[in-house]
A and B are shown apart, each in its own frame.
Chain A
Amino acid sequence: MSNPEKNKQPDTGAAVQKQINRRNFISFGTFAVLGVAAFGGWKSLYNSAIETTGITGGAHKPLRRALNKSELFFRNFFSNNHLVKTYPKSMAAKKVRQNTSIGADSKLDADNWRLQVKKLSGELLAITLDEIKALPKTELIFDFKCVEGWDQIQHWGGVRFVDFVEHFGLQPETRLNYVGMETPDKGYYIGLDMDSAMHPQTILAYEMNDMPLPVGHGAPLRLIIPVKYGIKNLKRIGSINFSNHRPHDYWAEQGYDYYSGL
């Protein structure tokens, strides 16, 4: 704004005063104009329209765009070599925190439960818990992170999603971009990008603290995905599907980031 070279020593005090007034006028004027513009910009962002609910919902339109763009940027840092920190079993919480039971609050019909997997061919797999338990078991003791802000070291056991995919011949399906999972009553549902689902620490868990899953923690089978917040760790999985389009997602419809990756 000011170039000292130009400010040759003026001859008189009056000339200096004139220059002071001029520079004050320009700088304070600019300051006021930019200040008003910034406030106006903030107001229009704060009052911007809420998106119409589709796959995502509940967020201001510009903020939703920002969430999606931020995901695209930080996706560049995603790697299967980046593993969540694991802990010794002694550090795992005995009393595991239980936040919600959305989609899993009706009585569980354990005998008739089957995991339904929709293949690309249209074939529908109905997998029993015993079939899943027959696969190699993976245990994971890690710091579970809730979108609310709390975290807790928890101990889960189950089948890695990659092992599950391989055993049931779902490799063609994993070439699609997304995995969707739903509770049997379709009350809770999540969508995952394929990379996160295929992360080596993503497991279909049937054990917690070396015991079968309690009902409140998602019996008989739940998702444990350490590269996502808890909201994506679906309890009582009823069905799994694959798609190139983003599957619907319970919390993304309510203003949360669709990806919610960690």
Chain B
Amino acid sequence: MKTIKEKHSLVMRWTHWVNFPILTVMIWSGMLIYWANDEYKITIFGHTYVRFFPDWYYNLLHIPARLAEGMAFHFLFMWFFTLNGIFYVAYTIISGAWRELVPQKKSWKEAWLVLLHDLHIRKMAPPQNKYNAAQRIAYTAIIVMGIGSVVTGLAIYKPVQFYYLTWICGGYHFARIIHFALTLGYVFFFLIHVVQVVIAGWNNFRSVISGFEVVNEEPKTVTKE
């Protein structure tokens, strides 16, 4: 028999979906800013593999020569990004939901088994509650990355007033690199995340909007049918 099983709280769903457009605007406006000094690339042994970003990419997204506009958007949406993040983290701590989220001692080993399972190398996945071991690591990491973005962001936004943050981030120059690298991390996370959600299917996806999953349960006690 079909049964409703509660899965995600309203706060979790709210902050998840609010974060999505905000982060999109932050990444977009961040690119408008980055364009003005686009010096990052991946070079190994003198050969440049990736240049952030090629001209066709900038032109496709209409990025060039919009630095002031980018800063104005970035410095408005930083507030929403930060407040939404604080709201989620505070809720997770107060409600105790962090217990389902934060990696446990065994998660590190189990995550490997989850990975093998997802890659169809191993048949059995380790038993799990709300999140499996790989999810615990990924979803906690993304929160840590969010905090990292706020801290490195502040470190390059007010490097004199928040000199201690800038110092913690390895200086102004390095803080900007971390800030950029974290953004690449979000994009990478997003790609994997979407693939996993598609594979996991409708029931799982719905739970992040409706809050519940539908499970088939054998009734324990016999009811009149």
Residues of A at under 8 Å CB distance from B?
A: 1-2, 4, 7, 11-13, 16-17, 19-20, 23-24, 27-28, 31, 34, 38, 42, 58-60, 62-64, 66-67, 70, 74, 77-79, 82-85, 143, 145-151, 226-227, 251, 254-257, 261-262
Contacts and interface: CB of A to CB of B under 8 A. Distances in A.
Given A82-B160, A85-B163, A27 B211 contact: yes
A16 B2 contact: yes
A4 B212 CA distance: 11
A20 B36 contact: no
Interface in B116-168: 157-163, 166-167
A177 to B, nearest CB: 19
Contact of A11 (B2, B34, B69, B223): B223
Interface of B: 1-4, 6, 10, 17, 21, 25, 33-34, 36-37, 39, 67-69, 71-73, 75-76, 79, 157-163, 166-167, 171-173, 176, 206, 209-212, 214, 223-225
Given A24-B210, A82-B161, A257-B71, 11 more contacts: A4-B6, A13-B2, A23-B210, A27-B209, A70-B76, A79-B161, A82-B163, A143-B173, A145-B172, A262-B159, A262-B160
B21 A42 contact: yes
A13 B1 contact: yes
Given A67-B72, A151-B172, A2 B6 contact: yes
Contact of B33 (A149, A251, A257): A149
Contacts of B33: 149
Contacts of A83: 160, 163
B210 A226 contact: no
Given A13-B1, A149-B176, A262-B159, A59 B69 contact: yes
Contact of A147 (B67, B166, B171): B67
7 contacts: A20-B212, A42-B21, A60-B69, A85-B167, A143-B159, A143-B171, A262-B159
B37 A150 contact: yes
Given A4-B6, A148-B37, A148-B67, A255 B72 contact: yes
